[in-house]
A and B are shown apart, each in its own frame.
Chain A
Amino acid sequence: MNKEKKIKNVFIEGPITPAKIADSIAHHQVKTNIGAHDIFLGQVRADVIAGKIVKAIEYSAYEDMANKVFDEIRESAFVKYDLTCAHIYHSKGIVKAGELCLFVFTSSKHRTMAFDACRYITEEIKAKAPVFGKELFEDDSHVWKVNH
Chain B
Amino acid sequence: MKIKVLYFGMIAEVIGHDFEIIEISNKNSTVNELIKLLQAKFPKLEDMSFKVALNQSIVEENTKIGINDEVAILPPFAGG
A residues contacting B by CB (< 8 A) are 42, 57, 59-62, 64-66, 68, 90, 101-102, 122, 125-134, 144-147
Question: Is there contact, CB below 8 Å, between B79 and A134?
Answer: no
Q: Mark B5-39, 1 if CB is under 8 A from A, else 0.
A: 01011100100000000000000000000000000
Once the chains are docked, how many angstroms separate the CA of A68 from the CA of B57?
9
Question: Is there contact, CB below 8 Å, between B80 and A144?
Answer: no
B residues contacting A by CB (< 8 A) are 6, 8-10, 13, 53, 56-57, 72, 74-80
| Highest count of chain A CB atoms <10 Å: which of B56, B74, B78 | B78
Q: Which residues of A contact B53 (CB under 8 A)?
A: 62, 65, 130
- 20 additional contacts, CB 8 Å, given A129-B80, A130-B74, A132-B9? A59-B79, A61-B79, A62-B6, A62-B53, A65-B53, A65-B56, A90-B80, A125-B79, A126-B77, A126-B79, A129-B77, A131-B80, A132-B10, A132-B75, A132-B77, A132-B78, A133-B78, A144-B75, A144-B76, A145-B78
